[in-house]
Amino acid sequence: MQILRHVLVPVEAAVYGVSYAFLQNIIRSPTPLDPEWTWHAVTKDMPRGTDWIRMGWPLKPLRPLVIRAKMRQDHVLGISAHYDVSNDFYKLFLDKKYMFYSCADFKPGDTLEQAQQNKADFILNLIDPQPGEKIMELGCGWGSMLRRIEEATGEKDNLYGLTLSREQKAYNDQDNRFHVDFDNFITREYEPEKFDKIYSIGAWEHVRQDEIPQLLRKLHRALKPGGRLVKHFFLRANDDVIGPVACSQIYFPGSMGASYRFHSKAWEDAGFRIAHCSVHDYRPTLRAWFDRLVQHKEEALKLVNVQTYNRYLTFFPASWRYFNDRYGVVTRWVLEKQHP
C-alpha cells in the first residue's frame, strides 16, 4: 500500500499537477501528519521554478479535459463525502455556540466564537428578518444562521433549511427542530413567491457555472416582490486556474465554483438588483480551525481514520494558501427582487 502511495505521485502529478499529487501523497500517510510541518509545507513560498511547474502544468489545452473528468463525479456524493464525516468530529474544531462552517469576521484579539458571532450579526443585518417572514437557507449546515435568526425574531415556524448531508439533517431534526429537508437546492422546484428572504452561507461554492443561470431564475421566482437573496460565498478571482481547481476536488469532489465576472453578470441577467457587495478574509478562520483540530488530535483520531484526519489537516492550510495567493475571494451580496 505504501509503495502504491509513492508510485501514484508521478502519475497524479502528470494528470492533475504537482500540488494535487503532493497533497494526496501526504494525506495517504499511514500516520497522523505533524501539524507544524504540514502547515509550513503547504503554505510556504516555492522557488520560482517549482512554482512555474506548479501553476503551468497541466498545460492550458489539457485543462478542460482534466476539469471535465473531475466533474463526472457525482455532486451529491461529493457533498456527503465532505460533510457526513461525523458531527462530533466537526464539533472538535468549529465554534462552540453556532457550529458555523464558513468564514468568520475576526477583529484583533477575537476568539473563534466572537468572530463567528460578528459574522452572524453582519449577515443578520443583510437578511434583516422581520417577524412573520418566510425565510429559507440553501445549504444550512448545522442550522447556525437559522438559530441566529430565531434569536432575533423569536420565531422558528417560518424558517426553512436545505442540506445534502444526512448527518446535518439528523442534527437539525433532533437538536434544532427547524424545517430542514434533505434535498438538492439546485434541482429542487420552488413554489412561486413563497419566500420573503432566501440566503446561503458557504454553499454557493458548490454550484457549477452552468447550473447558476437556471438556479437564479428559480430563486427569483420563489421570492416575493421586494424580497431579497443574501449570499456569502467565495468565488474564483480568475477563470483559468487549474492547480487550485484540481486540489479542491480532493476535498469537494464534483464541486466547482464560478468567477467574479460570471456571477455579477448572472445576478443582473436573472433580474436582481445588487444592493450590497463586500469582501472578507477567510485566512484567520482557517488557521483557527486548524489549531483547534490539532489541539483535539487524540479525540479526532477516535472518531475518524488517520487519512480523514490528514485530509482536514491539509484542507485548512491548502485553503489558506488559495486565499493568500488571491485565487479566491470571500464575498457577501444582497440581491433584491424589484417590485413590478
Ligand X SMILES: C[S@@+](CC[C@H](N)C(=O)[O-])C[C@H]1O[C@@H](n2cnc3c(N)ncnc32)[C@H](O)[C@@H]1O
Interface residues with ligand X (CB under 6 A) are: 79, 83, 100-102, 139-141, 144, 162-165, 168, 184-186, 201-203, 206
The region, left, alpha or beta by phi > 0 then psi within -120 to 50, assigned to residue 47 is: beta
Nearer to ligand X, 166 or 177 (CB): 166
C-alpha cell read off for 165: 448531508
CB of 113 to ligand X, least distance (A): 14
Q: What whole-number distance in Å separates Cα of residue 285 and Cα of residue 300?
A: 19
Smallest distance from ligand X to CB 332, Å: 12
Q: How far is the CB of 274 from ligand X (least distance, A)?
A: 21
Give the distance, in angstroms, between the CA of residue 235 and the centroid of all CA atoms in the same chain. 10
| Cis geometry, peptide bond prior to residue 58 (ω within 30 degrees of 0) | yes
CB of 17 vs ligand X, minimal distance in Å = 24
Asked if residues 102 and 201 have their Cβ atoms less than 8 Å apart, the reply is yes
Least Å from the CB of residue 119 to ligand X: 9
- The partner residues of 179 in beta bridges, in order of sequence, read 160
CB nearer to ligand X: pick between 204 and 327:
204
| 18/31 Cα distance (integer angstroms) | 22
Give SS3 for 236.
Answer: strand
Q: Cβ 180 to ligand X, closest distance in Å?
A: 9
C-alpha span between 256 and 273 (Å, rounded): 25
Cβ 120 to ligand X shortest distance, Å: 9
Rounded Cα distance, 325 and 178, in Å: 38
Q: Nearer to ligand X by C-beta: 18 or 258?
A: 258
CB closer to ligand X, 21 vs 180: 180
22 vs 100 by CB, closer to ligand X: 100
Q: Residue 190 and residue 201: Cα distance in Å, rounded?
A: 19
Q: Which is nearer to ligand X, 29 or 308 (by Cβ)?
A: 308
Complex with ligand X: residue 28 or 119, whichever CB lies closer? 119
Q: What are phi and psi of 232, to 5 degrees?
A: -125, 120
Greatest Cα pair distance, the chain, in angstroms, is 65
Smaller CB separation from ligand X, 54 or 91: 91
CA distance 43 to 51: 12
CB of 187 to ligand X, least distance (A): 8
Q: Would you state the torsion angle of the CA atoms of residues 282, 91, 144, 279, taken in this order, to the nearest 10 degrees?
A: 0
